[in-house]
Amino acid sequence: MAEHCSQFIQNPVKIIDVLDSVIKKLSGQCQVKATLDGTLQVTEITKAIARLKDSGAKIPDELRNLKIGLSTLVTEQQNLLLILQSLELRLSHTITDLRARIKQLAECKQNKKKSRKRYVKRTSPTLLRKEICRALRELGGSAKKSEVIDRNRANMEGKFKPDDTERDSKGISNWEKWVGSERSKMIKEGILKSGSNQRVWELRRK
């Protein structure tokens, strides 16, 4: 199965070509008008046989054989139609699933673009977290908030983005406030310890 799939994965269009060929072949074998005509003929023959039985007359073998032949033909044609209808249903589900996957991938790609654009002018929370952990490791695993901030400032020198260095009315830069906000989230997630001394930041030992 894997070997058969690999050739289609390399060139998915081949699946459509094979499927198109199969559908045309099945469609060519399925004669709807012949099926309807055959059904009518079988019905009439069945009635004729019933009348002969009722009258006590002998039923010709040719008539019996004709009924069997037509019944077989009608059954084969009906089965072909059912196969095509089943194939249509499966294909409709497959196409619906394909469209959903394409939409999901497109949205994912769009979200990644938005994510990249979002942090063009400021340092991302992910990078700030890495810098917090880096600073604490360099400081022995725990340190005062001011020490962590100073180490972050030194490590990120020349890497700050425009929005990072903007300051509020108290003179505190945005990145310092964002570092404090990320520290709170890291405590909730168990990355940092939550102690009674709020001034000391400490990595949770694994």
pLDDT for 34 equals 61
DSSP codes joined into one string, 108-163: HHHHHHHHHHHTSSS--HHHHHHHHHHHHHHTTSEEEHHHHHHHHHHHTTTT--TT
What sign results for the dihedral spanned by CA atoms 121, 122, 125, 131?
positive
Residue 165 above 80 pLDDT? yes
Q: 202 by DSSP, 3-state: which?
A: strand
What is d(CA 127, CA 122) in angstroms, rounded to the nearest whole number?
A: 10
Q: Of 51-55, 124-128, 192-196, which gets the smallest average pLDDT?
A: 192-196
pTM (whole model) above 0.85: no
The tokens 């094979």 sit on which residue? 18
Average pLDDT over residues 191-198: 77
Mean model confidence pLDDT for the chain: 85
- Assigned token pair, 22: 């199969």
pLDDT for 36 equals 67
| Confidence band of 206 (pLDDT split at 50, 70, 90) | low
Close Cβ partners of 23 (under 8 Å, ≥ 6 residues apart): 84, 87
pLDDT digits (tens, 9 = 90+) for 6-21: 777 778 888 888 888 8
Close Cβ partners of 98 (under 8 Å, ≥ 6 residues apart): none
pLDDT for 113 equals 64
Residue 79 above 60 pLDDT? yes
Q: Where are the domains of the chain?
A: 31-118, 125-202
Burial class (CB in 10 A: 0-12, 13-18, 19+), 125: middle
Average pLDDT over residues 66-81: 83
Q: Give the side-chain half-sphere CA count within 13 A for 32.
A: 4
Q: In terms of Cα–Cα distance, which of 94, 102, 195, 95 is closest to 145?
A: 195
What is d(CA 190, CA 25) in angstroms, rounded to the nearest whole number?
A: 63
- Assigned token pair, 200: 């000391």
Which conformational region is residue 160 in: left (phi greater than 0), alpha (psi within -120 to 50 degrees), or beta?
beta
